[in-house]
């Protein structure tokens, strides 16, 4: 509970019934806007995948997936997904999606190693999306255009919430600011990555931080990223590496930055092999997903995940994600939240 934030004088703007109504309003409206902006159609997603195929998202490479044996498959091991970053690309190929179009789905995951606090839960729900692109789209300029489209959908949703519940006031800026993680390091060289995110978000309100996963000039990455989905090693603008990033906003209720989305242009064959070598994971190239990519059976793509509970938390001005979703929390945290006026579901 070291990261647990106890906001002073917090008062929920919506009661429990209004909150549930607001959650549905946000999810229905934003989902439709995201689909329209990026030309996506909905598909059905798995809750678990077979272990050993390389399909599950490895996140930072240290999180343990929840596993269980399947009786009718001779106890073959299944893994509850962390996200659908690689599964979606396989789906694009199966559905033969044309460039400029894509898919989205409701992703539900369990992350048993998550450190529980105001914005992190064992249960993760997000809109996972993926779209087919062409070789000429593999640029930072294209990435920025997609980010702006997503951010505009978020702001439209904020407007709807504020119109529906007049006690909720808008706070998101009209535009999102772009900066590379190396540039951010140079601005605040003595800060931790999280402190740097807080400073830049406090300054601009909404930020897309480019280049997550590759080592910066201090010899460390801004944050971890698996080597086999986002392209974080290709050189983009100004000689800086990275075709991926995070959408971050300054969240005044908690007085900190809030990550809403992790996304990026996905690896092509060259970037996959380069990043597997950098990460010391060359053994993965023989897995099913990686062989599909290396054999030209998968399209070039861009994709990401947008936190559903995170978005609702922010737009309904809640102080704890447990006010939005049902999960398991330490009893001490649950009691403190009750005392602070933020009862958990």
Q: Catalytic positions, please? A: 57, 111, 126, 246, 259, 262
Q: What is the DSSP pairing of strand 102-110 with strand 40-42? A: parallel
Rounded to a whole number of angstroms, the CA Rg of the chain reads 20
| Element spanning 274, H or E | helix 269-279
Instruction: Map residue 235 onto helix, strand or coil.
Output: strand
92 φ/ψ angles, rounded to the nearest 5 degrees: -55, -40
Q: Taking Cα atoms as reference points, which of 265, 263, 298, 291 lies closest to residue 276?
A: 291
> Which residues pair with residue 264 across a beta bridge?
244, 303
- Rounded Cα gap, residues 28 and 16, in angstroms: 19
Report the C-alpha gap between 96 and 98 in whole angstroms. 6
Q: What percent helix, strand, coil does the chain show, rounded to 5?
A: 35, 20, 40
């Amino acid at each position: 509970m070291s990261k647990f934030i106890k906001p002073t004088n917090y008062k929920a703007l919506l009661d429990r019934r209004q909150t549930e109504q607001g959650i549905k309003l946000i999810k229905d409206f934003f989902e439709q806007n995201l689909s329209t902006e990026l030309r996506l159609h909905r598909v059905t997603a798995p809750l678990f995948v077979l272990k050993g195929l390389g399909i599950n998202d490895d996140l930072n490479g240290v999180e343990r997936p929840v596993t269980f044996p399947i009786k009718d498959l001779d106890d073959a091991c299944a893994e509850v997904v962390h996200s659908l970053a690689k599964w979606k690309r396989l789906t694009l190929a199966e559905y033969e999606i044309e460039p400029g179009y894509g898919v989205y789905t409701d992703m539900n995951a369990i992350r048993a190693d998550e450190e529980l606090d105001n914005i992190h839960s064992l249960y993760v729900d997000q809109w996972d999306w993926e779209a087919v692109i062409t070789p000429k789209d593999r640029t930072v300029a294209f990435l920025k255009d997609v980010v702006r489209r997503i951010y505009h959908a978020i702001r439209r949703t904020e407007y709807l919430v504020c119109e529906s519940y007049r006690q909720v006031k808008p706070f998101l800026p009209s535009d999102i600011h772009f900066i590379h993680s190396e540039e951010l390091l140079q601005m605040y060289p003595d800060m931790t990555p999280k402190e740097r995110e807080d400073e830049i978000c406090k300054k601009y309100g909404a930020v897309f931080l480019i280049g997550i996963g590759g080592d910066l000039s201090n010899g460390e990455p801004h944050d971890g990223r698996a080597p086999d989905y986002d392209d974080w090693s290709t050189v983009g603008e100004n000689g800086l590496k990275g075709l991926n990033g995070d959408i971050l906003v300054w969240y005044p209720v908690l007085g900190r930055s809030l990550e809403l989305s992790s996304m990026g242009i996905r690896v092509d064959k060259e970037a996959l092999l380069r990043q597997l070598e950098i990460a010391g994971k060359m053994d993965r190239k023989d897995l099913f997903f990686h062989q599909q990519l290396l054999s030209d059976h998968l399209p070039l793509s861009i994709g990401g995940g947008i936190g559903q509970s995170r978005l609702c938390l922010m737009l309904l001005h809640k102080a704890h994600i447990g006010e939005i979703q049902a999960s398991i929390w330490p009893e001490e945290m649950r009691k403190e939240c009750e005392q602070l006026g933020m009862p958990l579901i």
